[in-house]
Amino acid sequence: MRYTSYRHDGVDRVGERRGDRLVPLDGVTDLGPSTTTSRLAAATRLEDQAVDVAAVTLRPAVTGAQKIICVGLNYKAHIDESGRKDSDYPVLFTKFPGSLLGPDDDVVLPPEAGFLDWEGELAVVIGEAGRRIPESAALDHVLGLSVANDITLRDYQYRTHQWLQGKAWDDTTPLGPDVVTLDEASATSGRITTTVNGAVEQDSDLAHFVFPVAHLVSVISEFTRLLPGDVILTGTPGGVGYRREPQLALHDGDVVTVTIEGVGAITNTVRAEAPTG
């Protein structure tokens, strides 16, 4: 099943995607703490209000997230290109809900940016709350999977040993187009690619995770209660622009597409934000 957050005729909805049609769920306007997996599955489908995907504005796949927790260095190839050492505990950092964009929205290039970079990633959306979740039960707490681009301001990221200031800029993290349940998409395998202006820059497989999704859900839930609508970004493969020789940054007008087999694709254009003042 695929759940899609969208706006139609000025009204926010969540619908079940069936091919090119969206069937709204009665009483559901956002994916967030109240939209458990069981509630979504039981919601009445308003068949007579179905609309074409082409007639709506797609919103971020999750619009009510309380927590966005990100994983760094979760592919060996990215660890190697970054010159880092392997670790037995995942590198974790956070974003804020204001960073999320829809799957077709423009990525904002801030006037302060010195080096804007791409990071295609699998996103995991929580569907059932839990704390100290055993790894064996972790996938039972997952609503589904989505596609994300963890756009990063590298010059800000490396100003300190903490990454927050390079990762949490407003309007820089596309998420979508759908949340795909695990009966339709795999959390353990599937090709992931990132293209920039049509050229393939990242090409890997989810099977190359250092820490698989079930492990990440379990580890994160040790220190915080995961809630429905929370999002985990699972890390990017090798091939980011900052680690190229020569380096390759994103600029105004560049088009970036992230595709994950069985989950979907997002395409976003980088647009420079005009300086204020």
Q: What is the pLDDT of residues 142-194, one digit of tens each?
A: 999 999 999 999 999 999 999 999 999 999 999 999 999 999 999 999 999 99
Which pLDDT value is given to residue 80? 87
Residues of the chain with CATH 3.90.850.10: 68-272
Region 19-33 average pLDDT: 98
Six-digit token pair at 91?
A: 């590198």
pLDDT at residue 27 greater than cutoff 90: yes
Distance spanning both ends of the chain, measured CA to CA: 47
Q: What is the pLDDT of residues 117-127, one digit of tens each?
A: 999 999 999 99
Q: What is the pLDDT of residues 47-67, one digit of tens each?
A: 999 999 999 999 999 999 999
Which pLDDT value is given to residue 2? 98
Q: Name the architecture of domain 68-272.
A: Alpha-Beta Complex (3.90)
Q: What is the pLDDT of residues 226-275, one digit of tens each?
A: 999 999 999 999 999 999 999 999 999 999 999 999 999 999 999 999 87
Region 2-10 average pLDDT: 98
The pLDDT > 90 percentage for the chain reads 94
Region 23-39 average pLDDT: 98
Residue 277 pLDDT class (50, 70, 90 cuts): low
What's the angle, vertex CA 117, arms to CA 32 and CA 112, rounded to 5?
Answer: 90
> Average per-residue pLDDT in the chain?
96
The string of DSSP letters for 138-154 reads: GGGGEEEEEEEE--EEH
Which pLDDT value is given to residue 86? 84
pLDDT at residue 209 greater than cutoff 90: yes
Give the distance between the most distant pair of CA atoms in the chain: 55
Half-sphere exposure of 133 (CA within 13 A, CB side): 26
